Amino acid sequence: MKLLQNKVAIVTGGSSGIGRATALLFAREGARVVVADMNDSAGQTVVDEIRHAGGEAFFRHVDVRSDEDCAALVEVTLGHYGQLDVAFNNAGIGGKKHRWRTRHWRSGATCWM
């Protein structure tokens, strides 16, 4: 049995780099993968790669700076698969322009970062 057989995983930042590699690895290990990113075409390419290799995946456009996008990502995943077992929170927010509101640090569930 594969390590992630019958598990569902969200991978934010899943269209490139570490996120892409993780999405592909999780799929090879049996996970159904939700590739979440702002780059729609690259994200769909990762989904196509997973499906071509026999895995199951779908893409969801997500901006992790948005509480609404993050909540919708989880809701859509649960609606589609009925479960969520792994959240690989690879997408990040950086730079001087973005300031976190205090509640983001108090509640990790707000936007699983």
| Lowest mean pLDDT, pick from 10-19, 25-34, 51-60, 97-106 | 97-106
Domain hosting residue 49, numbered range: 8-106
In a domain, 36, yes or no: yes
| Lowest mean pLDDT, pick from 44-48, 57-61, 98-102 | 98-102
How many domains does one find in the chain? Answer: 1
CATH number of the domain residue 30 falls in: 3.40.50.720
| Lowest mean pLDDT, pick from 37-41, 44-48, 91-95 | 91-95
pLDDT exceeds cutoff 70 at 35:
yes
Look up residue 41 and give its two tokens. Answer: 């075409």
What integer best gives the mean pLDDT of the chain?
A: 88
pLDDT at 13: 97
